[in-house]
Chains A and B, each alone.
Chain A
Amino acid sequence: KAGVTQTPRYLIKTRGQQVTLSCSPISGHRSVSWYQQTPGQGLQFLFEYFSETQRNKGNFPGRFSGRQFSNSRSEMNVSTLELGDSALYLCASSFQGTGNTGELFFGEGSRLTVL
């Protein structure tokens, strides 16, 4: 099976711009989660989607949003970029059967630099 694929792998933006990141989960996985990884904070949960519905959201401002499509692919968007948004954004997919906190399968991440 192909792993979790994230695009783009690297991108540079300037303050005030917006960015869209994409994630294709492992085939058959219906849950997609997004995490922000920074050296000081580690991994911080952004949101989780299952069958096109957001089931949980982390403590991030409304500038961070996401969605999931019917084929389970997911996108996240960050608007009005700030310098502090520079980070590695990780996507993870999971099978997530009923009542199961499943293993997360991570992508390689999208490294965003905001200048």
Chain B
Amino acid sequence: AQKVTQAQTEISVVEKEDVTLDCVYETRDTTYYLFWYKQPPSGELVFLIRRNSFDEQNEISGRYSWNFQKSTSSFNFTITASQVVDSAVYFCALSGGRGAQKLVFGQGTRLTINP
């Protein structure tokens, strides 16, 4: 069975601090996809990134970066120089070989950035 664990229920930091959100996954599939979504207070989930199991290169997009390590089954998300607008609930998710079909989500991490 597939499983995603986000052990950090809530994180609170002061603006401009760096913050890392942890994600650990379990799957027996050899081909799978990992995702991060952001849910701001408005409620709509916003897609941030997708990574397939054969691509372990880290990715950077502006202040956001992702560290994928198959050896530890982790897909961690770092926000550099955090801003108040980054405050949201962040979800890590996993799907099997068919891409964005039947995503399994973690419990979510509520991130609060204080001014």
**Do A and B associate with each other?**
no
Residue ranges of B at the interface with A (Cβ–Cβ < 8 Å) = none
Residue ranges of A at the interface with B (Cβ–Cβ < 8 Å) = none
